[in-house]
Structure 1
Amino acid sequence: MKLAEIVFDCEHPARLARFWVAVLDGFEVRAYDEAEIARLAGLGLTPETDPVVMVDGPGLHLCFQKTDTRAGPKNKVHLDVSASDRPAEVDRVRALGATVVAELASSTWLHDPEGNDFCITDPR
């Protein structure tokens, strides 16, 4: 088996997808072709209100799917992303909407705009 995608349950898939595309190198929101835009329109939706937004990256996909409520009170899995200049990256993702939870010795614990945990770590 191989890991195919990571799925985020969220309230605003398009917005959260854009956040993570801005955070991660090499990831892009999957383009909507005319047929998909027409399919969404038939459902009264647009790419901005699509309940499932896909993000493609190097060897991995991220899926953002709309849910009415959070799966639970605490994430049991979170992402660690490494950065050569952690303070600069923390400032950058804060400007994108992340909030700092705690500064640790070799990482910074943050929440994305919908409260999902992630850490920016020093290079390993």
Structure 2
Amino acid sequence: MTARFKDLALDATDHQALADWWCRAMGYVRRDSLTGDTRPDDWPVPIVDPDGNGPLIWLNPVPERKTVKNRMHLDVFGDPAELAELGATLIRTRDADIDWEVMADPEGNEFCVFTPR
């Protein structure tokens, strides 16, 4: 084996706020709230599925804003209207070519939203 999956990582200029946004959007929690750990505010923030089903996601602080389309993105099951109420932006609606919505989180990171089956 050359490599195996470990975690996901998202860059953000305000990684603290984006960690909170993704926690609200996906029902995740900050890992430190479960472990009792503390870390400086300028360190990456790990968020987790409290049920242990989803992957660990790191929100990493970066100085630059997002300027081009993501080459990798998250796919989630959810309700685009509810995500928009939380602050996501609808980029593309489902149509004859795609069976999902393309949205962006508050910092512009694209993700695809699928209807749960």
TM-score range, shorter chain: 0.7 to 0.9
Structure 1 pair 54/73, CA: closer, same or farther in 2 (3 Å)? same
- Percent same amino acid among aligned pairs? 26
Superposition RMSD on alpha carbons, in Å?
2.1
> Secondary structure, in 3 states, of the residue corresponding to 1:110?
strand
Shift of the alpha carbon at 1:36? 2.4
Q: What number of residue pairs does the alignment pair up?
A: 107
Aligned residue number for residue 93 of structure 1: 83
CA deviation string 1:27-86 (max 9, x = no partner)? 2112253x625xx3xxxxxxxx43311101225200001001146622001111124xxx
Whole-angstrom CA distance in 2 between matches of 1:72 and 1:22: 25
Q: Is the 8 A contact 2:32 2:38 kept in 1?
A: no
Q: Is 1:54 matched with 2:49?
A: no
1:29-108 residue pairs with structure 2 within 5 A? 29-31=30-32, 33=36, 36=38, 40=40, 49-57=41-49, 58-70=53-65, 73-83=68-78, 89-105=79-95, 106-108=99-101
Q: Is 1:111 matched with 2:104?
A: yes
Structure 1, gaps ≥5 residues long: 41-48, 84-88
Whole-angstrom CA distance in 1 between matches of 2:108 and 2:43: 18
CA deviation string 1:3-47 (max 9, x = no partner)? 22100011111111111111114x2112253x625xx3xxxxxxx
> Deviation above 3 Å: which 4+ runs of structure 1?
none
Structure 2, gaps ≥5 residues long: none
Q: Is the 8 A contact 2:66 2:107 kept in 1?
A: no
Identify which of 1, 4, 29 aligns with 1:2: 4
Q: Provide TM-score, normalisation by structure 2.
A: 0.78
Question: Which of 1 and 2 has greater Rg?
Answer: 1
| Larger helix fraction of residues | 1
Q: Is the 8 A contact 1:11 1:66 kept in 2?
A: yes
| Larger strand fraction of residues | 1
